[in-house]
Amino acid sequence: MSGTADRAVVRRWSRHPRCVSLARAELRTALAGWGFPELEEAAVLVLSELLTNAGQHARVTPGREIETRFRPMRGGVRIEVHDASDVPPEVREPEPGACGGRGLVLVEALADRWGYGARCGPGKVVWAELAAVKLGP
C-alpha cells in the first residue's frame, strides 16, 4: 500500500486511564476507514494492553506524553505506542490468581508480530502488527 505514512494516525495521551478508551475509539475509526473492520476486536485489545503498560510504567511529563501511531500496511495495521521509559517490555507468566500481568501474553497471542525498539528522543516504541490477510508462509 503506497502512501501509508500520510495515512498514519498519530495522537498524544496523558497517563489518565480514560485515554485508553479514547485511543481505542481513534483506532476503531482508523480501521473502518482503511477497510480493516475484521481486525477491530484484536487490534483494540492489543492497543489497550500496550497503552495501559505505557501508562503504568512510563515517565510522563509535559512534552513527553505517551504517543500512539496507527498505520495501515499491506494487508493489515501497525500499532505503535511510544513512551519515555527505557525499560523494555517483558513477557512474564502471571502468577495463578493474579489480577494482572497477562498483557504481553495477550499481545503475543493476538499480533502476527510485535516488538520494541529505540525511538527519537528518550524512551522506546513498542509495536504490534496485525494482518487481515495472511501474506505467504
| Amino acid, res. 76 | G
Q: Is the pLDDT of residue 123 over 70?
A: yes
Residue 49 lies in a domain: yes
Task: Specify the DSSP element, H or E, that contains 69.
Answer: strand 66-73
Residue 136 lies in a domain: no
- If you average pLDDT over residues 121-132, what whole number do you get? 92
Residue 40 lies in a domain: yes
Give the three-state DSSP class for 15. coil
Task: Kindly report, residue by residue over 30-61, the tens digit of the pLDDT.
Answer: 999 999 999 999 999 999 999 999 988 776 66
- If you average pLDDT over residues 58-69, what whole number do you get? 76
Residue 62 lies in a domain: yes
Q: Of residues 45 and 1, which shows the higher confidence score?
A: 45
Residue 57 lies in a domain: yes
Would you place residue 78 in the very low, low, confident or very high pLDDT band (cuts 50, 70, 90)?
A: very high
How far is it, in rounded angstroms, from Cα 129 to Cα 137?
16
**Average model confidence (pLDDT) for the chain?**
86
- Number of structural domains found in the chain: 1
Say what percent of the chain tops pLDDT 90.
Answer: 55
What residues make up the domain containing 26? 8-131
What's the CATH number where 64 sits? 3.30.565.10
pLDDT at 92: 78
Residue 125 lies in a domain: yes
Residue 2 lies in a domain: no
Residue 1 lies in a domain: no
Are 11 and 47 spatial neighbours (Cβ–Cβ below 8 Å)?
no
